[in-house]
């Protein structure tokens, strides 16, 4: 198939949009549509290769696969090896182990399945996933494992015209599934082949329905197609349901550009577009790891570093295109005597070996100093496996669903005053806090918490309804309703921001009203500060590199929902005589001054979701015991709780 300058220029448009999106430049918040444009181009070109070779009787499936390997694998494997080598010096053990897993998934072309299981493409956590962008390579690879076999089989039993109708049927089915799944299972729709293959099939059908236009009409179609793509890139955002029916717009725009066949167009044929188009694959491979480095060091808002990172991406893409793709192409510009197996197998074997060792060795934690390990030992969640109570059945499959999540106690186990700590992981992360308060106030706290199970009387849930966490949650809530009156006081905690965003706060209000009626005292814990980055990781990196940790430079845009929900709970508490709301400032402070870090300049927070660590919870308890709110809590405990236990001696430190 002959080289087309206009399609090469369209590649440039696609990769520029993706790069601008990932680096947050020029308002291209919808630049992710560049991947959809790539899918259309890929479908057109691969169909052209298959059919043109069939017409010459030179097409074989093994050769098609080999050409795909030559095109994709060497440059990808080199990026993987480079990241693993650099990661030894710069990555924390958990990050390094994750990188090993991502490398294996990328080279096996199943990374879309890995990322589908762990985090959405637009979530903040994705900025710690070094090879997230390889999901699109995996989708393409999975499609082209099936596509040539399907075409060969169809050509043997039906005519070329009927083959096109079959592809139309597949496209319509895939598009319909994409529209439906984008609303019901958005992460699945984004990452999985069945909801993405229609975009490649759109490119296939453009090739199978060749059209010829006059010069003026063709130029108009090209401009219209490019305008559609650019308008979509500016108008869409991470909040856009994707890939729903709106994905048809950039796909249609790409189809117009390809169908117009403006091979000498100034828009797509200029030198800059041709350079970026030729290097687009390598540029795509390198730009995301470089963007992740910015987030790794918290530099994503420093425009000087952002522009330098963009320049580094273009340079790395050119070097990779010249020396890696040039070496491995079907007509190598360098070392033409090397065989395909050495060009492909060698880098893959090296990358897989390094990645496997890294993953099995848990990221080589022994690389870290003894001081580092000691300082960060308690910057973890209070898992049940480590002696606390958080029954995380989603994280640990070995934990049983059911009564096993109900029998954990904190504080003074011999005390007469009994309290209940109930909620999701945000209740679980307060285990060390209430263990401390319970011991100082001679209280026994029964802790019941599991994934996403915020306090409620209904069946609404902030997690996946098909998971084990939901099963445990229904069990927990039934326990709450049946046993609440057995406790002298109850503590509710949850990821209030997520509950607020999902418009499920009414269930919380109902649970508080019930608890206020059945229990002497109800405590509402605040959702801690949500940062836009994982501040624990940032702190650990400062230790690793010997730099000063400054939490004030990290943004808190994600905190808006949590603050709004906290305010609602504070207002709710004021409506009941026996309900108290513990505000953030009383828990997270240094000598009474609100603070996001402790006296030792260590963050209370554990991650970007707002969890606090075991260390952070203990320090919050210490700060709380020195606040006026603690005295108010002690007075209310005496007034309300001790009425239920006559002649009870109250102890406070």
CB 472 within 8 A of CB 536: no
Confirm whether 374 is domain-assigned: no
pLDDT the model gives residue 337: 46
Q: Is 651 a member of any domain?
A: no
The answer to whether residue 652 scores a pLDDT higher than 60 is: no
Does residue 373 lie within any of the structural domains? no
Same structural domain for residues 291 and 413? Answer: no
Together in a domain, 388 and 277: no
Residue 298 sits in the same domain as residue 202: yes
Q: Are residues 389 and 362 in the same domain?
A: no
Percent of the chain at pLDDT above 70? Answer: 94
Q: Among 310, 333, 366, where does a domain finish?
A: 366
- Characterise 374 by phi-psi region: left (phi > 0), alpha (psi -120 to 50), beta (else): alpha
Distance CA 132, CA 227 (A): 28
Q: Which distant-in-sequence residues (6+ apart) come within 8 Å of 580 by Cβ?
A: 521, 522, 523, 524, 573, 632, 633, 636
The answer to whether residues 351 and 414 belong to one domain is: no
Give the chain's domain count: 2
Question: Tokens 């970026």 belong to which residue?
Answer: 276
Domain final position from 338, 366, 394: 366
In a domain? residue 376: no
Q: Token match 């890995």: residue?
A: 114
Q: Which domain holds residue 503?
A: 384-641
Contact between 497 and 462 under an 8 Å Cβ cutoff? The reply is no
Give the model confidence (pLDDT) of 255-297 as tens digits.
999 999 998 899 999 999 999 999 999 999 999 999 999 988 8
* Residue 604: how many other CB atoms lie within 10 Å: 27
- Beta strand 443-449 pairing with 489-493: unpaired
pLDDT band at 340 (very low <50, low <70, confident <90, very high): low
Residue located via tokens 């501040």: 535
SS3 317: helix
Domain match, 203 and 340 both: yes
Query: Residues 479, 455: contact at Cβ < 8 Å?
Result: no
Cα distance between the two ends of the chain: 82
Q: Are residues 430 and 298 in the same domain?
A: no
Residue keyed to tokens 């509950």: 499
pLDDT for 642 equals: 64
Residue 375 lies in a domain: no
Residues 6+ apart with CB under 8 A from 223: 267
Average pLDDT of span 435-452: 96
**340 and 390, same domain (yes or no):** no
pLDDT at 336 over 60: no
Please identify, among 325, 340, 366, the residue that sits at the C-terminal boundary of a domain.
366
Does residue 371 lie within any of the structural domains? no
CA diameter of the chain: 98
Give CA–CA dist 590/592, Å, rounded: 5
Q: Are residues 165 and 284 in the same domain?
A: yes
Q: Are residues 435 and 497 in the same domain?
A: yes
Residue 553: give its domain's CATH number: 3.40.50.1110
407 pLDDT band, cuts 50/70/90, is: confident
Give 183-195 pLDDT, tens digit per residue: 999 999 999 999 9
Whole-number Å distance between alpha carbons of 251 and 552: 42
pLDDT for the residue numbered 636: 85
Q: For residue 211, count CB atoms less than 10 angstroms from its CB and return exposed for 0-12, middle for 13-18, buried for 19 or more.
A: exposed
Both tokens of residue 382?
A: 């209070």
pLDDT of 111 above 60: yes
**Alpha carbon separation from 99 to 18, 296, 349, 541 (Å, rounded):** 22, 13, 16, 16
Burial class from Cβ neighbours inside 10 Å (0-12, 13-18, 19+) for residue 155 reads: middle
Residue 348 sits in the same domain as residue 472: no
In a domain, 631, yes or no: yes
Question: Quick one: which H or E segment has residue 160?
Answer: helix 160-184
Is 106 inside a domain boundary?
Answer: yes
What does the pLDDT average to over 147-151?
95
The verdict on 362 and 393 lying in the same domain is no
- Mean per-residue pLDDT, 618-645: 86
Mean pLDDT of the chain: 92
Q: d(Cα 584, Cα 604) in Å, to the nearest integer? A: 11
**Alpha-carbon 155 to chain mean position:** 42
């Amino acid at each position: 198939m002959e080289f087309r300058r206009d399609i090469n220029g369209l590649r440039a448009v696609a990769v520029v949009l993706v790069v601008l999106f990932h680096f947050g430049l020029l308002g291209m918040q919808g630049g992710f549509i560049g991947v959809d444009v790539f899918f259309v181009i890929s479908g057109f070109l691969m169909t052209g290769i298959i059919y043109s070779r069939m017409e010459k009787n030179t097409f074989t499936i093994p050769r098609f696969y080999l050409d795909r390997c030559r095109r994709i694998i060497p440059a990808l494997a080199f990026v993987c090896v480079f990241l693993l080598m650099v990661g030894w010096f710069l990555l924390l053990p958990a990050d390094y182990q994750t990188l090993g897993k991502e490398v294996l998934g990328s080279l096996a072309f199943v990374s879309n399945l890995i990322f589908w299981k762990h985090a959405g493409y637009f979530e903040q956590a994705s900025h710690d996933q070094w090879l997230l962008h390889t999901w699109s390579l995996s989708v393409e690879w999975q499609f082209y494992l099936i596509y040539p076999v399907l075409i060969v089989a169809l050509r043997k039993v039906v005519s070329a015209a009927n083959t096109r109708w079959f592809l139309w049927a597949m496209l319509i089915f895939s598009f319909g599934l994409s529209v439906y799944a984008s609303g019901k299972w958005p992460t699945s729709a984004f990452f999985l082949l069945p909801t993405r293959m229609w975009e490649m099939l759109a490119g296939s059908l453009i090739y199978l329905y060749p059209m010829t236009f006059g010069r003026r009409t063709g130029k108009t179609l090209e401009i219209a197609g490019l305008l559609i793509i650019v308008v979509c890139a500016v108008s869409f955002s991470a909040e856009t349901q994707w890939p729903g029916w709106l994905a048809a717009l950039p796909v249609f725009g790409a189809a117009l550009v390809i169908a117009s066949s403006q091979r000498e167009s100034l828009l797509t044929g200029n030198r800059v577009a041709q350079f970026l188009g030729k290097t687009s694959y390598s540029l795509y491979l390198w730009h995301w790891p470089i963007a992740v480095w910015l987030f790794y060091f918290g530099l994503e808002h420093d425009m000087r570093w952002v522009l330098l990172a963009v320049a580094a991406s273009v340079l790395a893409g050119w070097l990779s295109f010249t020396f890696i793709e040039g070496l491995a192409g079907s007509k190598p510009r360098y070392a033409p005597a090397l065989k395909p197996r050495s060009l492909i197998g060698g880098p893959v074997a090296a990358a897989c070996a390094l990645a496997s060792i890294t993953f099995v060795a848990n990221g080589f934690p022994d690389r870290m100093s003894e001081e580092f390990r000691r300082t960060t030992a308690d910057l973890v969640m209070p898992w049940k496996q480590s002696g606390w109570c958080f029954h995380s059945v989603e994280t640990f499959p070995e934990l049983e669903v059911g009564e096993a999540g109900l029998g954990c106690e904190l504080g003074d186990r011999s005390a007469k005053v009994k309290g209940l700590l109930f909620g999701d992981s945000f209740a679980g992360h307060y285990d060390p806090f209430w263990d401390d308060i319970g011991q100082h106030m001679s209280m026994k706290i029964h802790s019941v918490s599991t994934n996403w199970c915020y306090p409620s009387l209904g069946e609404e849930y902030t997690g996946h309804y098909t998971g084990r966490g939901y099963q445990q949650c229904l069990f927990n809530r039934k326990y709450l309703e049946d046993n609440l009156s057995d406790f002298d006081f109850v503590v509710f905690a949850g990821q209030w921001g997520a509950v607020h965003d999902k418009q499920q706060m009414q269930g919380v209000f109902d649970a508080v009203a019930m608890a206020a009626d059945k229990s002497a005292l109800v405590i509402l814990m605040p959702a801690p500060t949500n940062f836009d980055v994982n501040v624990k990781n940032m702190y650990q990196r400062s230790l690793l590199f010997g730099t000063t940790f400054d939490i004030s430079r990290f943004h808190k845009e994600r905190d808006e929902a949590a603050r709004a929900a906290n305010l609602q709970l504070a207002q709710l508490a004021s409506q009941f005589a026996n309900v108290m709301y513990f505000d953030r400032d009383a828990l997270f402070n240094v000598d009474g001054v609100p603070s996001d870090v402790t006296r030792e300049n260590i963050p209370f927070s554990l991650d970007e979701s707002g969890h606090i660590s075991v260390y952070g919870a203990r320090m919050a308890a210490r700060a709380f015991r020195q606040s006026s709110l603690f005295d108010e809590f002690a007075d209310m405990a005496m007034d309300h709780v001790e009425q239920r236990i006559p002649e009870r001696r109250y102890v406070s430190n």
